[in-house]
Amino acid sequence: MYSSGRWSPVELRKSIRAILALVMVNGIKPVIRSPLWLVVMLMYPLVLIFFIYIFAEYAISEALIGGLVSLVVMSGVAIQADIVWYKVELKFQDMAVASPTPPTVYMIGMAVSELAYSSPAIALFLALMGIKGMLGLSSIPMLIVSMLLCWLSSLSIGFYLSTRISDIRHIWALEGLISIVLSMLPPIYYPMGLLPEWAQILSMLVPTTHAALLAKEAVGIVSLTGYQRLTSLAILLLWTAALLVVAGKKSVWREP
């Protein structure tokens, strides 16, 4: 299989089949048979929003964006656990290496499969945002771009860590830690202005801060100057590109 030229239609069709198979294997089938995962995915941002609703109802729009960013981050970072699980525990990745499946196709399939867990929760958050009147036609393109870049950078972190750590217990611990660092500490659920100045500067180094800023601007919660918007976009793009390059360079398909 995968016999013709690298980008031929035949090759492309086979790649799509492989991605579809991985989405079924690692996403849709496990979600259908163990729907508790959907609840777990949803609970984390929902609990935070619940508290924000109780203590500061006026900040609920900001919190909804925070929840959306959290879900996207979790969906990306979660890939590290699955990759290590398939590689170390099940040895499924060894079967994939010794097969015509190209490594990029395997990784894309694994990445897309993660969306099966988060997409119902993302849909719920979008619906809540719609009910709150936060979504308009003009807000959708930037919302998609910021969330896509946020997802790609989280995925790259997940990919990179999966090549460095082989013990699934460490992965689980790290996954929680990274989710907190990327989606709870920075001004995602709350306005940046609430932070002291030094913390604001620090938070500007975190890619999710920019993803949230762009998303908040898209739905009209904050207003950014053209320069601020470009800076946020550039930082987010730079983070994503740098993390993707590092993950690509460090990922090992055939062991040396």
Query: In the complex, which residues of this chain contact other proteins (CB under 8 A)?
Result: 1-3, 14, 17-18, 20-22, 24-25, 29-30, 33-34, 89-92, 94-101, 106, 109, 254-256
User: Three-state SS for 229?
Assistant: helix
Least gap, CB of 249 to other proteins (angstroms): 17
* Residue that the structure tokens 């800023």 belong to: 213
Burial class of residue 228 in the structure, from the number of CB atoms within 10 Å of its CB (0-12 exposed, 13-18 middle, 19+ buried): middle
| Cα(17)–Cα(160) distance, integer angstroms | 25
Least gap, CB of 27 to other proteins (angstroms): 11
- Which residues 6+ apart lie within 8 Å of 180 measured at CB? none
Least gap, CB of 41 to other proteins (angstroms): 16
Least gap, CB of 1 to other proteins (angstroms): 3
Nearer to other proteins, 4 or 138 (CB): 4
Nearer to other proteins, 94 or 140 (CB): 94
Least gap, CB of 79 to other proteins (angstroms): 16
Nearer to other proteins, 23 or 65 (CB): 23
Nearer to other proteins, 20 or 115 (CB): 20
| Eight-state DSSP code of residue 193 | G
Nearer to other proteins, 44 or 85 (CB): 85
Ramachandran sector of residue 220 (left: φ over 0; alpha: ψ -120 to 50; beta: rest): left
| Cα(180)–Cα(203) distance, integer angstroms | 13
